[in-house]
Amino acid sequence: MRRLISLAAFAALAACQQQPDQPGNTVPAAKPSASPSAAATPVAALARYVGHYPTDAVEGGGSFLADPAVRAAVAAAVPDEGVRARVLDTDVTATPIAEVEGRVLAYGCEPHNCGPHNWAIALAPDGGSGAVCYYDEDRKVARWYPESAGPNPASGCPSGE
């Protein structure tokens, strides 16, 4: 009798360890396409910078500020050579690049003087246009390039935070 109880207890314990049968995944996994997808656009390339600082080199290339598409967008939006040079300068205090309202947004400011002197680069979702916010409290400059890009910033450019 004792042997029968031990055998029944062992069988019950063994049954506890079994997993119920799981249905197999009958849908074949999607195979990657050999050709580039429609999503491989300049925006997809610029999205790789989200979460990185504007001066960080990222996998597959250099930094956001050195990216030819970013430099071209800033050049197209900002006629003032001094503002362009400052916005693209790598001597900058910055926050990580963010995606805000469908735009890739990079924020930077003058080291040790962020409140009174800052800027932001915002690139449109289609990658075809960009805008630059520039704020310099001392020079009394607070504006977007081009002018139609947004209302003049009252107390600094958007940082994405």
Fold annotation for 40-161: Inhibitor of vertebrate lysozyme, Ivy (3.40.1420)
The pLDDT assigned to 126 comes to 58
The pTM (predicted TM-score) of the whole model is 0.70
Domains of the chain, by residue range, sit at: 40-161
Query: 59-94: per-residue pLDDT in tens?
Result: 878 999 999 989 999 999 999 999 999 999 999 999
| H or E stretch covering 10 | helix 2-16
Q: What is the mean pLDDT of the chain?
A: 78
Of the pLDDT bands very low, low, confident and very high (cuts 50, 70, 90), residue 21 is very low
Q: CB burial class (10 A; 0-12, 13-18, 19+) of residue 98?
A: middle
Residue at 107: amino acid letter: Y
